[in-house]
Structure 1
Amino acid sequence: VLLAMKKIFEFNEFREGQLEAIISYLNGKDTFVFMKTGGGKTLCYAISAVCFNGLTIVFSPLKALMKDQKRELIKAGVPCATLYANLAQGACVQEKIFEEIACGLIKVLFVTPEKLVSNEGFCRFITRLYEQQKVRFVIDEAHCIIAYQDFREAWGRLGILKQHWKLAPIMLLTATCTQPEVDEIRANLTIEKDNFAIIRSSTSHRPEMIFNVQERKEIRDQYINDIIDIINANLLGRIIIYCATHFSCEYLYNKLQENLTDVSLGYFHGGLCDDERETTMNNWTSNQIQIMVATSAFGMGINSSNIRVVIHVGAPMSITNLIQEAGRAGRDGNTATNVIFYSKKD
């Protein structure tokens, strides 16, 4: 484990909770890992995967997040692949991935829960690995299980992991969960208490973050002028602006485009088609977009180091949303600002 940390991932020491989580998981325990946003959750399963003689399957909520994590692991020299539930990838590509897994050439496989619940062939493939004791699971952004009714139905059906492959350990990762929510997730997955570990960092505090709360001026969209002033004062970094709805996201994007002609803007929400979302995400990760106007769909796993400001156009719907959205900023450890606009309607 220490050798993998130093030689493969080039870190000199573990952050709080990482080594404990890795050891627990490698010892076969179902392990729930709480770490603050930007706290190094990915390293917990990445090192575990390198040290495990088999395949680690990571369930992830977003294609964009899967692609980003795959790119980072490949950069570190860890062989990995992604499998999608839809046919966009092509049968030949997927067959090649299965062949590479069978030959032991892939250590980490990123999939969405839909791939598990909708593809019997994939389940049979997992069973063959399980019979050789060569598979284990990771659920990234595990809080999605709680919100599956509002998110995606397949997240509520991950209990089949323990039904079919009882002894394969599961690592669950999140920055946001209360103890009752942990209990609900554990019950949903039918994880037994006596083989269950919770690793929680001592604090979710990020001292580099500044929170600025302002009243939103609704008259003649005055708040948009306030947002433009914030943008003009922070043009050296990147900015994410969170809106509550698809309509408000596109409305604000159009208003900013009218007033900020020299700045590259984009917008992102769940109402975009797959191609639009993928293009926008690629433009963001390649630094072609400086300012992103988005709903909470552009939250989980966005791991850009140069986000200096996050603006919440309205008060976030929950503390979980606030932590997820605010946590996109300041990932390089330098000072970052969150501006939260509120009104009497919030």
Structure 2
Amino acid sequence: MKDQVEKLSRIPNVRAIYRDGIEETDRIIREGALDYLFGALELLVGDSSFREQLHHFSVSTIVVDEFHTIASWGEKDEEDRQAFRKWFSYLGELRSVFPEASLLALSATCTRKISKRVKKVLNCRDNTLEIPMSPDKPNIKVVTKKLANSVDQGMAWMVDALDSIAKTVIYCNSIQDVSKLYVYLTSEVPNSVNYCEMFHSETPKAKKEKMLNDLCNEDGLLKITIATSALGMGIDVPKTNNVILYGVPQQMVKIIQEIDATEIYEEQDEFDAFMSSDFEFE
């Protein structure tokens, strides 16, 4: 969300803000000095005092990005354990606060089954318009290779090319696999500690932000990012040529999410031209 706020803020006369719980940010929001408000559900819906403030806003559109997470994170799991982030299942309450507002829900990896469940949470009407699109992209080539079931045998090919490899994201199914790969690569090529890092749910927040800033910088030093699915869902990493899935995810949704996690621009000029275009908001 911070990444999106930064990009919107580059557009002349557009004011975007991310609610992070800091008093100064809340002051700006209370004064209404914004056009776009971003925030996690815990802060937008779960904070009762802030929800009262929302009643004073004139909201034309509610946007829900990655709406498939409402089902996977906002509901109890198959073993009846508590929801990972319960406020996701309360998102529909925003529609009662702003009954005249339009709702735009977006997802690159939503299945039909999840869509039906999520539409109930969002209180969607029967005439809701759905626009399905293929996740296939012409600039993505998928290659599979069966490797030996050991880190050293499976990743030996990468050691040989590590110093010259282009910016690469390696996705693993567990933090343990992330650690194994990191230890292996940095042991085999000690110099790689300068451009290889781990990103997962236990990575300190300050380090995550530093890594994300480096990843989004075309001239950043970080070349190899070994991560779990904690890295993904909308991050734009320019000049990323390789996404490696170390161990196939058990769900097709996760496979698509990981191989399609980064928006790849052939040239940085394309991105700059896109961001400097004239926008019209209705």
Specify if TM > 0.5. Answer: yes
Deviation at 1:220, TM superposition (A): 6.6
Query: Residues 132-171 of structure 1: matches in 2 within 5 Å?
Result: 133-148=58-73, 149=75, 151-171=84-104
> Are 2:16 and 1:80 aligned?
yes
Matched ranges for 1:150-299 at <5 A? 151-194=84-127, 196-201=128-133, 203-219=134-150, 221-229=152-160, 231=162, 235=165, 237-263=166-192, 264-286=195-217, 287-299=220-232
The change in CA–CA distance for 1:302 and 1:274 in structure 2 (over 3 A counts) is same
**Residue of structure 2 in register with 1:321 after alignment:** 254
Deviates more, 1:71-80 or 1:106-115: 71-80
Cα deviations by residue, 1:135-165 (Å, 9 ceiling, x for unpaired): 4311111111121146422222212122333
Percent sequence identity is: 24
Aligned to 1:116: 44
Determine if contact 1:308/1:330 at 8 Å carries over to the other structure.
Answer: no
- RMSD of aligned Cα (Å): 2.2
Measure how far apart 1:252 and its partner are. Answer: 1.1
The CA deviation at 1:329 is 5.0
| Structure 1, unpaired ranges of 5+ | 1-65, 335-346
Residue 181 (structure 1) shift: 1.7
Instruction: Provide the C-alpha distance between the structure 2 equivalents of 1:123 and 1:81, rounded to a whole number of angstroms.
Output: 17
Contiguous gaps of at least 5 residues in structure 2: 76-82, 268-282
| Residues 45 and 94, structure 2, Cα contact 8 Å, conserved in 1 | no
The Cα offsets for residues 81-101 of structure 1, whole Å up to 9 and x where unpaired, read as 1102xx4x3x133213321x2
Could you tell me how far 1:230 is from its partner in structure 2?
5.7
Aligned to 1:107: 35
Inter-partner Cα distance in structure 2 for 1:275 and 1:163? 36
The answer to whether the 8 A contact 2:170-2:244 is kept is yes
CA distance in 1, matches of 2:10, 2:116: 36
Deviations along 1:24-67, one digit per CA (max 9) or x if unpaired, are: xxxxxxxxxxxxxxxxxxxxxxxxxxxxxxxxxxxxxxxxxx11
Does the CA-based 8 Å contact 1:306-1:329 persist in structure 2?
no
**Could you tell me which residue of structure 2 aligns to residue 67 of structure 1?**
2
The alpha carbon displacement at 1:167 in A equals 2.5
Question: For the Cα contact (< 8 Å) 2:235–2:263, is it kept in 1?
Answer: no
Change beyond 3 A, Cα 1:160–1:257: same
TM-score by length of 1: 0.68
3-state SS of paired residue (1:199): coil
Distance 1:114 1:183, change over 3 A: same
TM-score (norm. length: structure 2)? 0.82
Tell me, what secondary structure is at the counterpart of 2:131? strand
Look up the SS of the partner of 1:315 in the other structure: coil
Contact kept? 1:307, 1:329, Cα under 8 Å: yes
Letter aligned with residue 142 of structure 1 = F
Alpha-carbon distance, 1:231 to partner: 4.1
More strand by share: 1
What is the aligned partner in structure 2 of residue 27 from structure 1?
Answer: none
CA change 1:134–1:242 in 2 (3 A) is closer
Structure 1 residues 123 and 242, CA gap change in structure 2 (3 angstroms): same
Cα gap change, 1:94 to 1:124, in 2 (>3 Å):
same
Residue in 1 aligned with 2:80?
none
Corresponding letter in the other structure for 2:181: L
Question: What do the CA deviations read for 1:70-112 (whole angstroms, capped 9, x no partner)?
Answer: 111112232111102xx4x3x133213321x2xxx41111101
The answer to whether the aligner puts 1:96 opposite 2:25 as a matched pair is no
Amino acid at match of 1:243: C
The answer for the alignment partner of 1:308 in structure 2 is: 241
How many residues matched? Answer: 254
Bigger RCO (CA 8 Å, 6+ sep): 1
The Cα shift of 1:119 comes to 1.3
